[in-house]
Chain A
Amino acid sequence: MLRALVIAYQLLLCAAAPACAAEPAATFTLPNGLQVVVLPDHRLPIITHAVYYRAGSADDPPGQTGIAHFLEHLMFKGTRRFPNGQYDLIVTRAGGTNNAFTSNDKTYYYEQVMTEGLAKVMELDADRMAGLDVAASEAAHELDVVLEERRAYLDDPESVLADKAGHALYGQGVYAHPVLGEASETPSLTLEAALAFHHRQYSPANAIVVIAGDAEPQTVRALAEATYGKLPAAPAPPPRPWAVLPAACPDGIVEERHERVARDKASLYFVTPGAAVLGVQTAAALSLLADILQDQTASPLWRSLQDQGAPASDLSAGYELKLAAGEFSIALTANEDGQALQLRPALLDALAMLRRTGIGAAMLEAAKRRQLTEHLLRADDQLGEATRHGELLAIGRSLTEIEAEPKTIASVTLADVNAVLRDFLPNRCFATALLERSSTAEPARLRPAPQQPAHAVH
């Protein structure tokens, strides 16, 4: 039975390839430079509408870290046409929901509404792309909300460690600071600075609109012309010279000790070139390598760690591609407290051995099959598909490249994977992040007290 399951994954390709899809994706660009992508899906009368701006925390001016994210919040605080509160009411009355996210390279806003609500949300987003009208008092309250968001974020020791790792990996570079901003800067962000950021960055030519769901490309085009199309072309946004990072060799060890860490963890981070220079095939090879390394049943790295008797209970690996860098991470969870630092040499030994022996053909074929299957299985996730396309478009991938992803995965060779293992996971130039449970004299662990004194609220 085991052997019979290894079916040629070529069978999985057709359905995922654009040529086989019932309704192919479409794209067009308005005269003012705004790109629109349509991913038709008519199973339900629902449409996801997402606007991506090629502007994120990496574009925060010096001294204003967190401004891209603060602006994200202010985008919901009103315009001249739709004063504060209107946007959310209009979206909910259209049976919809919305949210927004800021990351290093991009910021996106989405609404998911019933079909007939599409025209309205396009009008709303075009309107706030043109400009905001936010009262100073509203902005001040919203900065408090952002500070609460920051507190919630910092209550997770893994977030604190991720921020430290960012500094270790990128030094003073644009990816070094947290998206929410540095503790010394976020509290003094201003409405004026956020509006200046909007003015510089939020223009049609710096945006991509992705529409997934119950819509036809020709209908969307007409709506786009009537809404976004009315916005004048703006001056080009500032260039992003940082998109090609200078070669660097991070080698620091950062750690976070906290009483609320359940299991110690050791992670390695390797930096690769980013999407600005890295080809789709190489990126696919890196993603397949991560898949192979964390395969729960056949990871060669895990096997080698077990042979060594490394005190680890779990291995994970991932590859995240950004515009100026890719981050390849490998994390080991320790069996017991106080072992995080011990895991590091074990992991380095296992990696060195893997570089010598290389990845086997069967492992690669199994990983390809899993990724191609995943491609098909996630097709029903309308929001997920909209954001997957949007994120890749925002870092410069073309719709053609995105739609050809299954073919790209299938074409990755064993030589490709072993080359990225050798070139991008070397035995130097990586950062180590250690998460450790702090050993307090009195363990301050959170436990629900067995007998809580209860008293009346009023």
Chain B
Amino acid sequence: MRHLLALLALVIPLLAAAMTAHAGTSEIISPRGLRVWLAEDHGTPVFTLGFRFAGGSSQDPPGKEGLAHIAAEMFFQGGGKLGADDYTGLWNQLGAEINMEARLESVRGTVKVVSQDRGKAMELLGLAVNEPRLDADALAQVRDQVAAAIEREADDPEAVAFRMYDALAFGSHPRARPVAGTQDTIRTITPGDLAAFRRNIMTRDGLTLSAVGDITPAELGPLVDRIFANLPAQGQIIQAGPPPATTSARSDQPLNSEQAQVVFGLALPDLTPREQLAAELINYTLGGSAFTSRLFHQVREKRGLAYSIGTTLDRYSFMAELSGSLGSAPATVEEAIGLVTQEFDGLADNPPSDDEVAEAKAALAGQYLRGVIKQADLANELTLRMSEGAAGDPIGDYANRFSTITPDEVRALARRIPWSSRLVIATVGAIAAPPARAAATPKLRTPPAREP
């Protein structure tokens, strides 16, 4: 494999680009007044409904970290008279693809189903929305699954490095919270907490809706009314403010492993909207491009110090954040970290050239389109755009968002940000763990000899 796919997945939150061909999005107002963005397409008999509620894990009360995540996991665990087993059994029979996930600032879901099953799927979804069960036994089961996932993450050096970076960079700000919570906090979550989450978050004021595929406007209005129009009108959300700008720091977790994992990044809480777009272009040039970025060139191409290296730019309502990761053998990891720091430092003296900005614009345009090929991805993108107050042609407009950003604006931002004095670095395995005493310790595989 040429490139690790996990890195590509990291890029998804900032779907970027330039296109007009996908002009098919229209706005529907349902009989009871719900707005829905529809991308109608009858090419295959498949339909996807997207729904998004503002307010995700950023709303978790202190000590209840993981609440939004568990609420999302519980969403498709029963409704009305149907307990979890019967309810999930019916979804399983339909073969529908259902998804509900908590993110930092939202919980969002999609239901993708073949047209002949649409009615039944929407009936099941309606039960989850309007007649939630929140059964204690289902909660216990979900909590066990989440606990197992947290346990697996604790064994994954890269995931641990990301958690260390979050804590080091963002301290007590909601951005630092683990979306899935911790073993301790998830134990405290009760059915009452889930009910409170629903009261605060799953309400019409923070709801945005989309539909993609085989459905007509006339069918769509009544459909969303039956599912969403009876939700309470108002919830309660606490808007997170921006965290302070990060200050350079480093944290190392010892481990004996083949590769050391490094996560690095910085907060950009002080950017104007135009500067946020410029930051996306800078990120692409620095490390966002899988095979042409400056970091790829310095660390992998020229020196062979890493297999996976890349950065991503995340945009939240309260800040932008540029972060990245790499894996390198313990013997070479410090050299790789040095090169990364050097490239951040170099942004001021050697900001993106006209050519680099042009490449970034073209590439991010394509990346945005590739990110909305699948129905569920497009549905998620539409609910996000609506929540941001977009209008008109949401996909086309966003695709063209870089058109008025000039290379000079990009360079001005590259010079303004004190990159290296904000850079936070977390490593796992850069320092070897002390040898364990026990004879039962598994043998560490000797790294293959390197070519001289």
Contact = CB atoms under 8 A, between A and B. Distances in A.
Interface of A: 1-2, 4-7, 11-12, 15, 22, 43-46, 72-73, 76, 85, 88-89, 92-102, 112-114, 140-152, 154-155, 160, 183, 186-188, 257-263, 295-298, 313, 366, 369-370, 373-374, 376-377, 379-383, 438-442, 444-449, 452-458
B392 interface: no
6 shortest interchain CB distances as A-B pairs: A95-B366, A144-B304, A441-B438, A373-B95, A151-B258, A452-B251
Contacts of A12: 114, 116
Contacts of A155: 157, 257-259
Given A85-B292, A97-B370, A147-B448, 12 more contacts: A6-B93, A15-B45, A92-B292, A95-B363, A99-B5, A148-B307, A151-B327, A187-B450, A187-B451, A260-B156, A262-B155, A380-B46
Which of A6, A187, A452 has most B Cβ within 10 Å?
A452
B67 interface: no
Contact of A152 (B4, B17, B213, B436): B4
Interface of B: 1-5, 8, 17-19, 21-22, 41, 43-46, 85-86, 88-90, 92-97, 112-114, 116-117, 120, 148, 151-152, 154-157, 160, 163-164, 167-168, 213, 248-253, 255-259, 289-292, 300-308, 327-329, 341, 358-359, 362-363, 365-367, 369-370, 372-375, 420-421, 423, 425, 428, 433, 436-438, 440-442, 445, 447-451
Given A262-B151, A373-B94, A92 B112 contact: no
A151 B370 CA distance: 30
Contact of B301 (A99, A141, A259, A366): A141
A102 B423 CA distance: 36
A366 B93 contact: yes
Nearest to B178: A448
Contacts of B421: 458
Contact of B249 (A89, A144, A298, A457): A457
A149 B307 contact: yes
A99 B448 contact: no
A11 B363 contact: no
Nearest to B264: A457
A415 B327 CA distance: 50
Contacts of A6: 93
Given A147-B450, A373-B114, A259 B442 contact: yes
Contacts of B89: 2, 297-298
A4 B375 CA distance: 27
Contacts of A379: 44, 46
26 contacts: A4-B120, A12-B116, A88-B292, A92-B291, A94-B362, A98-B2, A99-B5, A112-B370, A141-B304, A144-B303, A147-B450, A149-B1, A154-B258, A155-B258, A187-B450, A262-B154, A263-B148, A263-B152, A376-B45, A380-B46, A383-B373, A438-B441, A446-B160, A447-B160, A454-B251, A457-B249
A251 B164 CA distance: 44
B95 A374 contact: yes
B370 A46 contact: yes
A444 B92 contact: no
B426 to A, nearest CB: 8
Given A12-B114, A148-B328, A446-B157, A380 B22 contact: no
